Amino acid sequence: MSEGFSLKCEVFERTAFLLSEGWTQGVERREAGRNSCYCLFGAFQQAVADLTVVDSDDPASARRHYSGVSQLWDGLFNFAKGRGIPEIITWHDAPRRTQQEVVALVTDYRESLTPNHCPGCGGHFGTHDDDGACPA
């Protein structure tokens, strides 16, 4: 999987869309009539599946793909940690967690990926120290 900037953004846009269409906790996916409801990780996995292709006949290509997927998830995980969420799955499955909060986290992360945002803290680069260091 090529972890290009636009693909990374597309994966998280798709993740947020899937979560906004149907959300669940405790399981990765739940069927609800003609629609599916996803937890955060399930929506992420579905977004990756929707937007990428794995060449299963080429083990090196498959390893690169899954390494890229892991890096994408780690990016969201680290973003959440920077927002005071030490364990994203536990946070997601908390009894009072709302669909809107989960969609907002993914949307905020997606927006942090734009060139004028710092992936470390999500802030605008203009808010960093004069040397560009992230205050987080």
Residue 112 CB-density burial (10 A; 0-12 exposed, 13-18 middle, 19+ buried): buried
Model pLDDT for residues 42-101, shown as the tens digit of each residue:
999 898 888 877 777 777 766 676 677 888 899 999 999 999 999 999 999 999 999 999
Secondary structure percentages of the chain, helix, strand, coil, to 5: 55, 10, 35
- Residue whose C-alpha is closest to residue 55's, from 108, 2, 96: 2
* Torsions phi, psi for 113 (to 5 deg): -80, -10
pTM of the model: 0.75
Model pLDDT for residues 10-45, shown as the tens digit of each residue:
899 999 999 999 999 999 888 877 788 999 999 998
Q: What is the mean pLDDT of the chain?
A: 81
What is the pLDDT, as a whole number, of residue 2? 42
